[in-house]
Amino acid sequence: MTRLIEAKNIGLTLADRTILEGVNLQLHAGKITTLIGPNGAGKTSLVRLLLGLQPASQGELWRKPSLRIGYMPQKLHIDASLPLTVQRFLQLGGAGAAALKNALSLTGIAHLLASPMQRLSGGEVQRVLLTRALAREPQLLVLDEPVQGVDVNGQVALYDLIDRIRAQQGCGVLMVSHDLHLVMAHTDEVICLNQHVCCHGHPESVTSDPAYLALFGAKAAQTLAVYTHHHDHKHNLHGDVVCNHDHSLPLEDCPPAAQKDESNA
Amino acid sequence: MPDFMLHAWLAGAAVAVVAGPLGSFAVWRRMAYFGDTLAHSALLGVVFGLLLDVNINLAVTLGCLILATALVLLQQTRVLATDTLLGILSHSTLALGLVSISLFGNTRVDLMAYLFGDLLTADSGDVITIATVAALVLGLIGYFWRSLIAITVHEELARVEGVRVGAVRMLLMLAMALVIAIAMKVVGVLLITALLIIPAAAARRLSQTPESMAVMASALGLVAVTLGLVSSYFLDTPAGPSVVLGASLMFGLTLFKRQS
């Protein structure tokens, strides 16, 4: 499998605050990796490091030479004073007409081309952003909370689409998500982040594993499970992470007893 | 038409044409205050020009370019909000310019000309200088147009897609500084931002694409310059402020157009 990005022990410290530390991860072509974790866990910061938008404070970051990335940012705000149609917005990505047409046929937004960007609904904006990312014929798709502002049916459709794109184009996908549940079916690897990598693993094997059930507990049926997942570590008074387990363990090997105890803390 | 009117119109027209696209960026990127700061500091350039006995236009241009660079660098530190930073620089440089002129150059400087412009005194040399700078800036903006729009829409997305965001942003700031240096002749230090912002704002309601807004802003600027000069010729009003009022009039008229 082609390696696209490899991070070795990278960390980020901003104004004496530790945002991320000791993160190891690899992204491969044809594989969907999902980054989950509570608010403030550093998911977006990690994405920014991987994209090269922010230099890492520590560690090593390797990127495949001339790696072509399609990026779908979390938010898009276009000032009302800028008259911009969807078509012009898509052309700004610099993709050729054929690639753009192909991307449009995948995302099905050809009927929106003449609309002003400011008139789109949340779900439409997401699909326009995805189209622009796809039109670059990326080797790696990076999607920061791609289903934000999209209803549940739309979310299912969007995840299906991302899965189809991966199958058709063979690109690697890195997704940031709050919601583990819908994402599960299409993810090859889940990385659970809370300043460091708490645990990681293959969701297909994880969902039936007793350790997973212990980790996500009775709330596994709800999407909220991710927000309230039981940490495998504590934070001391300074907010630093105090760990008491082996980070090299994959998700399914996390000791369930330890998780339960700390959920009451 | 007397020669001085022709020169005045040509100089004003050149500034109006380049102010169209640049003013559009100022509106899209909310840089009105940035323009003000550069303009106010231009007076300081005048003082340095007098003190060092170099060409005043050159001194003003250099001053604006240096300040634009300093602002871009300061913006990256983000200790104070940008508008606070600009407010401090803008008014400090204006005050310093006014004080310096009264101390060093009171016999040689027509302060009103710098504050409100002296379009009617433009000679053929001024016209050539202004037209050359305007053509240079237009060429640069045209060449980097797609990158400029891309960073205006979403800087990080543009960077991931390979646009050199820092360099393009710096280019826009320097273009702004150049245009302000030449626009000083037309409307003066205090009214430059108006010439950038008002035609662009008026063009917004009449355009569906960024390109048409930029072109429309240039066209409205041309009309404003013409209206201002006509009023100045027949009613003996000051030329610079009349040009700005011409632009304001057109903005007012666009308010009657129903938004599609």
One DSSP character per residue, A17-78 reads EEEEEEEEEEEETT-EEEEE--TTSSHHHHHHHHHTSS--SEEEEEE-TT--EEEE-S----
Give the pLDDT score at B152.
94
Return mean pLDDT, chain B: 89
The CB density around residue A238, as the number of other CB atoms within 10 Å, is 8
Chain-chain contact of A88 with B210 (C-beta, under 8 angstroms) = yes
- Confidence band for A204, pLDDT divided at 50, 70 and 90: low
Nearest CA in chain B to A117: B153
Chain B residues lying within 8 Å of A116, measured CB to CB: 208
pLDDT in tens, B175-190: 998 999 888 888 888 8
> What is the distance between the alpha carbons of residues B216 and A178, in angstroms, rounded to a whole number?
45
A42, A19 contact by CB (below 8 A): yes
Task: List the single range of A76-80, A207-211, B73-77 with lowest mean pLDDT.
Answer: A207-211
- Amino acid sitting at position A82: L
Nearest CA in chain B to A79: B28
Q: Are β-strands A140-144 and A241-243 bridged in parallel, bridged antiparallel, or unpaired?
A: unpaired
What is the crossing angle of helices B165-187 and B56-75, to 10°?
140
Chain-chain contact of B146 with A94 (C-beta, under 8 angstroms) = yes
Of B161, B208, B209, the CB nearest to A136: B161
- The H or E element containing residue B248 is helix B239-254
Are residue A143 and residue A161 in the same domain, yes or no? Answer: yes
Of the residues A67, A84, A117, the best mutation for testing chain B's interface (the one with the most B CB atoms within 10 Å of its CB) is: A84
What range does the domain containing A255 cover?
238-265
Are residue A82 and residue A193 in the same domain, yes or no? Answer: yes
Of the residues A72, A84, A92, the best mutation for testing chain B's interface (the one with the most B CB atoms within 10 Å of its CB) is: A92
Are residue A68 and residue A155 in the same domain, yes or no? Answer: yes
**Residue B57 to residues A184, B50, B136, B188, B196, Cα–Cα distance (Å):** 65, 11, 16, 13, 20
Residue B112 has pLDDT above 70, yes or no: yes
Are residue A65 and residue A28 in the same domain, yes or no? Answer: yes
Chain B residues lying within 8 Å of A103, measured CB to CB: none
- Confidence band for B201, pLDDT divided at 50, 70 and 90: very high
- Amino acid sitting at position B137: V
Side-by-side strand order, sheet with A69-72: A69-72, A140-144, A172-176, A32-36, A189-194, A196-201
> What is the distance between the alpha carbons of residues B26 and B12, in angstroms, rounded to a whole number?
19
**Residue B56 to residues B48, B49, B63, B125, B131, Cα–Cα distance (Å):** 8, 5, 10, 14, 17
Is A248 or A79 the better-scoring residue by pLDDT? A79
Burial of B164 (0-12, 13-18, 19+ CB in 10 A): middle
Instruction: Please name which of A224, A197, A196, A221 lies closest in space to residue A207, comparing C-alpha atoms.
Output: A221
Place of tokens 């050159």: B58
> What is the distance between the alpha carbons of residues A8 and A59, in angstroms, rounded to a whole number?
6
Instruction: Please name which of B215, B230, B221, B219 lies closest in space to residue B248, comparing C-alpha atoms.
Output: B221
Give the pLDDT score at A224.
36
Are residue A180 and residue A230 in the same domain, yes or no? Answer: yes
pLDDT in tens, A34-87: 888 777 788 889 999 999 898 889 899 999 988 999 999 988 989 999 999 999
Are residue A258 and residue A192 in the same domain, yes or no? Answer: no
**Residue B108 to residues B41, B47, B60, B61, B102, Cα–Cα distance (Å):** 19, 11, 17, 20, 10
Are residue A214 and residue A263 in the same domain, yes or no? Answer: no
- Confidence band for A257, pLDDT divided at 50, 70 and 90: very low
Instruction: Please name which of B8, B2, B4, B24 lies closest in space to residue B219, comparing C-alpha atoms.
Output: B24
- Confidence band for B258, pLDDT divided at 50, 70 and 90: confident
Are residue A222 and residue A244 in the same domain, yes or no? Answer: no
B146, A92 contact by CB (below 8 A): yes
Q: What is the CATH number of the domain that holds A187?
A: 3.40.50.300
Nearest CA in chain B to A92: B150
Return mean pLDDT, chain A: 78
Chain-chain contact of B160 with A53 (C-beta, under 8 angstroms) = yes
What is the crossing angle of helices B3-28 and B192-204, to 10°?
60
- The H or E element containing residue B146 is helix B145-153
Work out the percent of chain A whose per-residue pLDDT is above 90. Answer: 28
Chain-chain contact of B208 with A71 (C-beta, under 8 angstroms) = no
Chain-chain contact of A89 with B210 (C-beta, under 8 angstroms) = no
- Confidence band for A206, pLDDT divided at 50, 70 and 90: low
Of B28, B162, B201, the CB nearest to A82: B28
Give the pLDDT score at A225.
38
Are residue A252 and residue A168 in the same domain, yes or no? Answer: no
Chain A residues lying within 8 Å of B162, measured CB to CB: 94
DSSP string over B153-178: H-HHHHHHTT--HHHHHHHHHHHHHH
List domains and CATH numbers for chain B. Answer: 3-253 (1.10.3470.10)
Place of tokens 């027509």: B110
* Opening angle at CA B192, ends B186 and B198, nearest 5: 110
Are residue A202 and residue A223 in the same domain, yes or no? Answer: yes
- Amino acid sitting at position A95: A
Provide the ipTM: 0.84
Give the pLDDT score at A254.
43
Burial of B21 (0-12, 13-18, 19+ CB in 10 A): buried
Beta bridge partners of A197: A193
Give the pLDDT score at A211.
47
Mean pLDDT of B34-45: 86
Are residue A167 and residue A245 in the same domain, yes or no? Answer: no
Q: Are β-strands A172-176 and A32-36 bridged in parallel, bridged antiparallel, or unpaired?
A: parallel
- Confidence band for A220, pLDDT divided at 50, 70 and 90: very low
Of A81, A92, A136, the CB nearest to B28: A81
Residue B32 has pLDDT above 70, yes or no: yes
pLDDT in tens, A9-30: 998 988 888 888 888 999 999 9
**What tokens were used for B7?**
């020169």
pLDDT in tens, B79-109: 777 788 888 888 888 898 888 888 876 566 7
Chain-chain contact of B153 with A78 (C-beta, under 8 angstroms) = yes
Chain B residues lying within 8 Å of A51, measured CB to CB: 156, 160
- Confidence band for B223, pLDDT divided at 50, 70 and 90: very high
Give the pLDDT score at B105.
60
Give the pLDDT score at A150.
78
Mean pLDDT of A189-204: 78
> What is the distance between the alpha carbons of residues B239 and B249, in angstroms, rounded to a whole number?
15
- Confidence band for B2, pLDDT divided at 50, 70 and 90: confident
Are residue A55 and residue A138 in the same domain, yes or no? Answer: yes
Chain-chain contact of B146 with A136 (C-beta, under 8 angstroms) = no
Q: How far is B99 from chain A (nearest CA, A)?
A: 38
3-state secondary structure B43-98: HHHHHHHHHCCCCHHHHHHHHHHHHHHHHHHHHCCCCCCHHHHHHHHHHHHHHHHH
Is A172 or A234 the better-scoring residue by pLDDT? A172
Chain-chain contact of B152 with A82 (C-beta, under 8 angstroms) = yes
Q: How far is B229 from chain A (nearest CA, A)?
A: 29
Q: Give the CA dihedral B183, B189, B194, B200, nearest 10 degrees.
A: 30
Work out the percent of chain A whose per-residue pLDDT is above 70. Answer: 73
Task: List the single range of A40-49, B7-16, B218-227 with lowest mean pLDDT.
Answer: A40-49
Q: How far is B192 from chain A (nearest CA, A)?
A: 20
Number of domains chain A is built from: 2
